[in-house]
Amino acid sequence: MLDLVQSILDGVLFGATYALIGIGFTLVFGVMHKLNLAYAAASVGGAYCGLLVMGLVHGAAPPWAVFLGAFLAGGVIGYLVYLTCFHFIPLTSPLATLMATVGMLLLIDEIIVHVTDGMPRNYPAVFDDVMLQAGEITLRGDLLLVFAVSVVCMAGLLVLLYRTRLGLATRAVSQQPVAAELCGIRVTRVNAATFVITGLLGGIAGALIGASVGTLSPLLTTPLTVKGLIVTVIGGLGSIPGAIVAGLLVGGFENLFQMYRGVTERDLYVMLLLFVFLVFRPGGIFTHGAKRD
Amino acid sequence: MDFYYGLAQIIGVHTLLGLSAYIVLLTGQVSLAQAGFQAIGAYTAAMLTVLAGWALVPALAMSALVGALVACAVGFPALRVRGLILVVATLAFGEGVRLFFFNFDYQVARGGVRVGPLGGEGFRQIRYFPEHGWTTLEVMLFIWAIVVAVMAALWWFDRSRYGAVLRAVGEDELAAQSVGINLTAIKVSAMTVGGAIAGVAGGLFAHYTTHIEHTNFNILVATFALAYPIVGGLASVFGTLAAVVFVQGFLIEGLRFLGDWRNLLFGALIVLSMNLRPHGLLDAPTLARLKRLVGR
C-alpha cells in the first residue's frame, strides 16, 4: 500500500513536466488550430542550449543559470519553429504545416545528435540529495522542485492569459481569428507570441526533465512528444486546466503501472488510458461527453 | 548491382506504405497508425511462413486481410473523433501495437533452433527467400509487381465513383454529407483499404529484411508513411511514388556522400519543400502541365 502511494506520488510530481509539454501543444492548438509536432523536440533542444551556459563558464555555472539559459533558448527556438513551419505556409494547407513541423522535429533531433556526438549529457541536478519525510512517505527534493517550478510557470501563464492585453488578444484570436483581426488585433503577431510563450515553457520543461532524470539525450524527444499529445487529448484540445490535470494523471498512472507491470509494458497502459478517455470522454476531462471534434 | 535492386525493394515497400496513408488522406483523415498496420502485417506473414510453413503469396494475402480487419476495427471508434484528436488516437494505436510486439513472445523449436518472435530481440530467421533460392532481382521484381498492381488499383479507384466520393469527403465533409454520402462508411472503407495495403507492405518488409523487431515500426516510420503522400502531393498516386523516390533515393541514398550532414539536411529539406510546395511536389497544376507535355 505504501509502495503504491509512494509510486503514484513520484509519478504525479514528475507528471508536472508532462503537463507543461501538454500545455505547449494545447496552447498552439487553441490559438492556431494546428498541431506543432516539433514542440517536444524544441523543448529538449532548449534544455541542451541551457547546457551551453555551462560550457561558457567552463562548468562553473550555477544550476539556475542553466535553467534560465534553457528558458530563453526555448523561446528563441519556438520563434524559429513558427517562422519555418507556420509563417510562410498558407492557411489552406494544414497538412503542409503538419509535415513541416515533423521535418523540424527531425532537424532539431539531428542537430542535437550532431553537436553532442549522440552521447547523453549529464544535467545539473538541484536538491537531489534532499529527501523530505512525511510519515512513511519520502518526497524526493528534485521532484518537488520540478513540481514547484512547473506550478509557478503555469500560474505565470494563467496570469499572462487572463490579466494582460496580450493574453486578451490571444484568447480573442483563439475564439474567432477573423473577428479578432477586424478588431485590429495583429493575428500573425499573436501567433508568433504564442510560439515564443510555449517555447519558453518548453525550455523550462526540458530543463526540469533533464534535472530530474539526471541526463539529457535526444532519445527523449519521441516519448515526450507522445506523452505530451496524450496529455493534450485527455485534457481536451485547447484546455489549459485540462492539460495540467491530465499531465499529473498520466504521470501518476504511468509510475503506478511501471511498478506493477515493469517499464516495457508501462506505456501500453497509458495508451489504454487514452482510449478509455476517447471512448467515454472524447472532449477531454472538463467537457461533457456529447461535445466532439 | 544488388545494391540497386535492394534500393528498389526499399522504395517499393515504402511506396506501398505511402499509398496506404494516401487513400486515408484522400478522405481528409490524418492517420499515424500505418506503421502499426504494417507491423501487424509483418508479424502475421512472417509467423505464417516460418512457423506454419505457408507459401509466401497466401501469407501475404492473409496479412492484407488481418491488416484490413484491424484497420476496420480501429476505424470505427477512432473515426468518432475528428481532425487532430484522430492524429493522436492513431499515433497512440500505432505505439500500442509496437509496444505489444515489444512484449510478444511466441517461440517454437524448429530443427534444433527456436524460431519465432521474442520480445525486444525481435523475430529472426525469416528465411523464406534464401530457402527457396530467390535472387535479389527476383525479390525486387516480385515486390514491384505488387506495387504496380496496387498503384493501378488506386489509380482506377481515383477515376471511379468511389474515388470521387473519397475526395468529396476530404474536401468538405458537410457538403458530402448533405448530398447523401455516408461519411462513416466512406472513412472506414478508406481506412480498411489502407490497412490492407500496409499489411502487404509489412509482409514484404519482413521477408526481404529477414529480421523484424518492434523498432522497425516506430513513430518515425508512421510519420514517413504520412510524409510520402503529403510531400508528393495528393493529386495523384504518382505523387507518393515521386516522394518516395525523392526521400529514399535522393535524401537518404543520394546524399550518403555527405556523411553526418545528410541527416541534418534531411529535416531541413522537408521543411523547405513544404514551404515552397505546400500542395506537394506533384500538385494539380504541375500534373496538368505534365499531362499536356505527354499528350502533345
Look at residue B296 in the predicted model and tell me its pLDDT.
Answer: 63
Give a yes or no: residue A73 inside a domain: yes
* pLDDT score for A201: 92
Contact B92 A98 (CB under 8 A): no
Average pLDDT in chain A: 86
Task: Please indicate, yes or no, if residue B240 is contained in any of the structural domains.
Answer: no
**Residue A52 in this model has a pLDDT that exceeds 90:** no
User: What pLDDT does A83 receive?
Assistant: 92
The answer to whether residue A148 scores a pLDDT higher than 50 is yes
pLDDT per residue as tens digits for the range A71-128: 999 999 999 999 999 888 887 778 888 889 989 998 999 899 888 887 888 888 777 6
Contact B83 A95 (CB under 8 A): no
Q: Among the residues of chain B, which ranges form H helices?
A: 2-26, 34-50, 56-78, 83-102, 128-131, 136-159, 161-171, 173-178, 183-209, 219-232, 237-244, 261-276, 284-295
pLDDT recorded at residue A30? 85
Interface contact flag, A278 B89, Cβ < 8 Å = yes
Mean pLDDT of chain B: 88
pLDDT in tens, A165-198: 999 999 998 888 889 999 999 989 999 999 999 9
In chain A, the largest separation of any two C-alpha atoms, in whole Å, equals 59
Residue A164 lies in a domain: yes
For residue B266, the chain A residues in CB contact (below 8 A) are 106-107, 110
CB contact under 8 A, B231 and A265: no
Does A93 contact B at CB distance below 8 Å?
yes
Residue A135: inside a domain? yes
Domain range for A128 is 24-221
What pLDDT digit, counting tens, does each position of B230-283 carry? 888 888 889 899 999 988 888 888 887 887 777 778 888 888 888 888 888 888
In a domain, A287, yes or no: no
Name the minimum distance, in Å, from the CA of A236 to any CA of chain B.
9
Domain that holds residue B57: 2-226
| Cross-chain CB nearest to B274 (options A103, A229, A233) | A103
Closest of B105, B79, B93 to residue B27, by C-alpha: B79
Averaged pLDDT for residues A203-214: 88
pLDDT-derived band at B78, boundaries 50, 70, 90: low
Q: pLDDT tens digits, residue range A222-279?
A: 889 999 999 998 998 888 889 999 999 999 999 988 888 888 788 888 888 988 888 8
In a domain, A30, yes or no: yes
> Is A279 in CB contact (< 8 Å) with chain B?
yes
Domain-located, residue B276 = no
Q: What is the DSSP letter of B103?
A: T
Give the model's confidence band at A200: pLDDT under 50 very low, under 70 low, under 90 confident, else very high: very high
Domain annotation covers residue B37: yes
Place of cell 539536411: B265
Number of domains in chain B: 1
Residues 6+ apart with CB under 8 A from B68: B192, B193, B195, B196, B199
Secondary element (H or E) of residue A55: helix A39-56
**For residue B31, pLDDT beyond 60:** yes
Q: Is residue B12 part of a domain?
A: yes
Q: Is residue A204 part of a domain?
A: yes
pTM of the model: 0.87
Candidate from B82, B103, B263 with C-beta closest to A110: B263
Q: What is the pLDDT of residue B142?
A: 94
Contact B275 A107 (CB under 8 A): no
Say how many C-beta atoms besides its own lie within 10 A of residue B51's C-beta.
16
Residue A183 resides in a domain: yes
Give me the number of domains chain A comprises. 1
> Smallest Cβ distance to A100: which of B25, B220, B271?
B271
pLDDT in the model for residue B295: 75
Query: Out of B92, B266, B274, whose CB is closest to A106?
Result: B266
